[in-house]
Structure 1
Amino acid sequence: MKFLVLGAAAGGGLPQWNCGCDNCNDARAGRISASGQSSLAVSVDGHSWAILNASPDIRQQMQASPRMHPRALRDTPVGSVLLTNGDIDHIAGLLSLREQTPFQMFATGEIHKVLADNRIFDAVNREVVPRVTVALDQPFELLPGLTAKLFAVPGKVPLFMEGTEVQTDLEGEQTVGVRLSDGAKTAYYIPGCATVTDKLLDQIADADQLFFDGTLWDDNEMIRTGTGVKTGRRMGHIPISGPDGSIVRLSGLKAAKTFIHINNTNPIWQPDSLERAFVTGNGWQIAADGQETEI
């Protein structure tokens, strides 16, 4: 399997349009690399690709990646798009893929309902782009030679669907992880996860490669930096650090591990930070736009 990181950042990207934090200012000045919003492409042959989550930056991300360019007058190497939740940073890019070129769109029934309830997504013609509903824990063909399976991951409903009471550790169709297999190797893509449960550890135990939620370094990051009022877990994202953070909880996993969906405030963006050194010292990679991985 071949993986291409189209976007490594969380919602808003790096720099975020309205943020003057150190990371965003450094990205504007070119002192660190800018990053688009989270999206990952996967292929088994290097010619036909599936896109996992269509970020609002998808047009620019595809332009920057020659593997995503059309090979004829009206063409795309994209055979399918798969959505892992209904968050804006994962579905808004569908509106840039509305020009009557066929591909398949895979999601759970709950995620498809988010699209159906927002009629702007009818611009993506269902007669050209079929919406395929996928049941949890049932394997399906994402591309020829590539089998996928969706499974529940602790999370919450999209921000724009929140009510007065918000459950952040829901396990159902609203937030899913993806298991990918070409019959020889197995990879997982989990860009949003509120907590690493024992059940989730059992699910991903066979991973050769893991792309995992790296949104925040610590749970109070947004509050501490003055950029927000919510903890990471309130936003549905487990922190990287801490005794029950993702590095500790996933330390027994033998897979190659990569953090993706990284918030603009996260100190691991800084090349010389102690936090980045800690992450890489514990065997993790940090995703970057354009990064290619093969297993």
Structure 2
Amino acid sequence: MMRVVVLGAAAGGGVPQWNCGCEVCRASFADPALRRTQASIAVSADGVNWFLINASPDLRQQVIATPQLHPNEGALRHSPIAGVILTNGEVDAVAGLLSMREGSPFTIYAHAKVLAVLRANSIFNVLNEQVVRRQPIEIDRPFQPALPDGSPSGLEVTAFAVPGKAAWYLEGQTHPGGDAPDGDTLGLTITDKASGKTIHVLTACARVTDELKERLAGAALLMFDGTVWRDDELIAAGLSHKTGQAMGHIAMAGDEGAIAALGDLGIAQKLFVHINNSNQALLADTAERKAVDEAGWTIPHDGMEVTP
């Protein structure tokens, strides 16, 4: 039976962001229940071996807070984490890899463009490739991530291209992975081989296309980009000069927002992840949260386990 744990539900910087005095951050500095670490998800087919979807900068803290990811009792060196599947090359998706440098075997699965970003930055050489394999994944070609001993994990994963953009720190630079249009922003379809149940994970998505709707329809679980409530919210709040679209993220609200676009697809469970500290839907007593709840979406807390 597939199990899914939300290790962190926040966008880059977390909630509260260390240097932010916005309404949501002020509230979460005061109330630990409102705090969220940066987005990462753990998935397992057997409840014993786990694969991470992205490795957030908060990964060490997330592992400590998640008993499912603790080393086996009596083992001197061990981790249930068998692999990390990267959906993009943003800081909030890859920085946690640096906390996994102590010699335990696992595999990094990522598109060749994202692997090129890691290869171009020598700090990731602390992950010895003789111990930590880097395996390229191809768009729309299913693969079965393996356990460290090579045995099957019980999961099948298909990566697919979604509208988005390259990591912000690559803006204005030559991309280490070349100029191909796809590969920087991926969604994942993860299927439990035993039950046939399918989940979809999209931590970044700039818009919902008809093709994407067709792909997501009828899923047991969707974990979807919830960065901003409205496209111009960071500008309106005085936090940034960028819109959600400029950052490669769709808004929750609006005629072309995620709630409207994904509202009638027969998806059993819908969770927003990668939620920015500017997003009022994080606060339980707001009109934004009420609208999210009424539309059948969930704002998850860190450590929340979901069974599709």
Report the TM range for the smaller structure's normalisation: over 0.9
The aligned residue for residue 100 of structure 1 is 103
Q: What is the CA distance between 1:13 and its match in structure 2?
A: 0.1
Give the TM-score, by structure 2 length: 0.92
Instruction: Look up the equivalent residue of 2:250 and give its one-letter code.
Output: I
Instruction: Look up the equivalent residue of 1:74 and give its one-letter code.
Output: R
With over 3 angstroms needed to count, the CA separation of the structure-2 counterparts of 1:195 and 1:73, relative to structure 1, is: same
The aligned residue for residue 272 of structure 2 is 259
Q: Which residue among 281, 285, 289 is the counterpart of 2:294?
A: 281
Q: What is the CA distance between 1:171 and its match in structure 2?
A: 5.4
The aligned residue for residue 247 of structure 1 is 259
The aligned residue for residue 148 of structure 1 is 157
Decide whether the 8 Å contact of 1:44 with 1:145 is kept in 2: yes
For residues 251 and 194 of structure 1, what CA distance do their matches in structure 2 show? 17
The aligned residue for residue 221 of structure 1 is 233
Instruction: Look up the equivalent residue of 1:45 and give its one-letter code.
Output: D
Q: What is the CA distance between 1:288 and its match in structure 2?
A: 1.2
The aligned residue for residue 10 of structure 1 is 11
With over 3 angstroms needed to count, the CA separation of the structure-2 counterparts of 1:229 and 1:32, relative to structure 1, is: farther
With over 3 angstroms needed to count, the CA separation of the structure-2 counterparts of 1:129 and 1:31, relative to structure 1, is: closer
Q: What is the CA distance between 1:205 and its match in structure 2?
A: 2.1
For residues 206 and 251 of structure 1, what CA distance do their matches in structure 2 show? 12
The aligned residue for residue 20 of structure 2 is 19
Q: What are the within-5 Å matches in structure 2 for residues 1-295 of structure 1? A: 1-30=2-31, 32-71=33-72, 72-143=75-146, 144-163=153-172, 172-183=182-193, 184-255=196-267, 256-295=269-308
Instruction: Look up the equivalent residue of 1:179 and give its one-letter code.
Output: T
Aligned CA-pair RMSD: 1.4
For residues 265 and 279 of structure 2, what CA distance do their matches in structure 1 show? 23
Identity rate of aligned residues, in percent? 46
Decide whether the 8 Å contact of 1:5 with 1:39 is kept in 2: yes
Decide whether the 8 Å contact of 1:53 with 1:81 is kept in 2: yes
For residues 4 and 264 of structure 1, what CA distance do their matches in structure 2 show? 21
Give the TM-score, by structure 1 length: 0.96
| Unaligned segments of structure 1, at least 5 residues | none
Q: Deviations over 1:56-104 (max 9, x none)?
A: 0000000011111111210000011000000000000000000010011
Q: Deviations over 1:247-290 (max 9, x none)?
A: 00101221111000000010011111111010010111112101
Aligned length: 291
The DSSP-based 3-state class of the residue aligned with 2:25 is: helix
Instruction: Look up the equivalent residue of 2:117 and give its one-letter code.
Output: V
For residues 211 and 261 of structure 1, what CA distance do their matches in structure 2 show? 9
Q: What is the CA distance between 1:31 and its match in structure 2?
A: 6.4
For residues 87 and 171 of structure 1, what CA distance do their matches in structure 2 show? 16
Task: Decide which moves more: 247-256 or 93-102.
Answer: 247-256
Decide whether the 8 Å contact of 1:152 with 1:171 is kept in 2: no
Instruction: Look up the equivalent residue of 2:88 and give its one-letter code.
Output: N
Instruction: Look up the equivalent residue of 1:6 and give its one-letter code.
Output: L
